Amino acid sequence: MELGSVIQFLENRTILVTGATGFLAKILVEKILRVQPNVKKLYLLLRAADAKAALQRLHDEVIAKDLFRVIKEKWGANLSSFISEKIIPVPGDITCENLGVDDTNLVEEMWREVDVVVNLAATTNFDERYDVALGINTMGAKHVMDFAKKCVKIKLLMHVSTAFVSGEREGLILENSYCMSETLNGASGLDIDIEKNVVEERLNELREEAASEKTIARAMKDLGIQRSRLYGWPNTFVFTKAMAEMLLGHWRENLPLVIIRPTIITSTYKEPFLGWVEGFKTVDSFIIGYCKGRFTCMIGDPESVIDVVSSFIFFLIK
């Protein structure tokens, strides 16, 4: 597909977006609604107890954000009807089969209608608990793919990974796909099923010891770092994202799959306006400190290049 045809491609499409309350998902949803209001439907998957709670989260954590200012100005009093026509909030959880959607009718409706699936759900903490990161980043991606395979009209599964699945190597690093059991340091023995067993066995040991929740959390974080470094990755986040790519590549079959590996993502560049950002991520705290005059110097190579992406969705959809 040529980049110039993306807007046309989105016309009359039904799109499922996971991680709907996340930073990138909000930018994607806003962009689609603004540049292609003729999109047919957006199913937004978010964690919630039921449909009512999902709708509340949609309004409080997505539509209410200043990011949607331009859309609000465009639609005015018709905003609510436009949003209700285009967006269906879906309570669910990608760590579960069928994305944790309990409503059978809704699941079957999505299988009939969805053309495109965009997986943006992830935990991005570098030292996340290993059980949590494995469940969301790795097995969650597999569950999203399994769901996409059941969509009879599926045209594309887009999975957002990270450039840092390549680890801390130097030199030219090609964006080749990962094979199952491939490691960065050449170590053998990486098996995702074994990693799941390692987590379960360690959790059982801790429970038998009547360990506190704080102790369990700490042990799971340590385990993630330990297993990551065993195979050459620097932290749990990038390790679990790399294993997700392995699963997707291995089990995709004929499913059209695109994996995107952005680097450090900062604020919006031009659209819908300059400088929108949410929370403090990676390099954000340094930028803010510099702008406020808190940081007057930084140790480093003045010739070095910092690789950041400003509003990466802007480059996805022109």
The closest alpha carbon to 33, from 75, 77, 92, belongs to: 75
Check residues 74 and 303 and name the one with the higher pLDDT.
74
Q: What is the pLDDT of residue 257?
A: 96
Position 136 scores a pLDDT of 98
Q: How far apart are CA 144 and CA 255, in angstroms?
A: 12
Least confident of 46-55, 244-253, 271-280, 294-303: 294-303
State the average pLDDT over residues 224-252.
97
Provide, rounded to the nearest whole percent, the portion of the chain with pLDDT above 90.
78
Q: How many Å apart are CA 27 and CA 265, to the nearest integer?
A: 12
Sorted by where each begins, the domain ranges of the chain are 3-316
pLDDT for 312? 47
Tell me, what amino acid is at 97?
E
pLDDT tops 80 at residue 253? yes
Give the model confidence (pLDDT) of 100-122 as tens digits.
Answer: 999 999 999 999 999 999 999 99
Cα 225 → chain centroid? 21
Q: Could you write out the DSSP letters of every residue in 64-98? A: TSGGGHHHHHHHGGGHHHHHHHHEEEEE--TTSGG
Whose tokens are 């929740």? That residue is 213
265-294 tens-digit pLDDT: 888 888 899 888 887 766 777 777 777 888
pTM above 0.85, yes or no: yes
Under CATH, which architecture does the 3-316 domain have?
A: 3-Layer(aba) Sandwich (3.40)
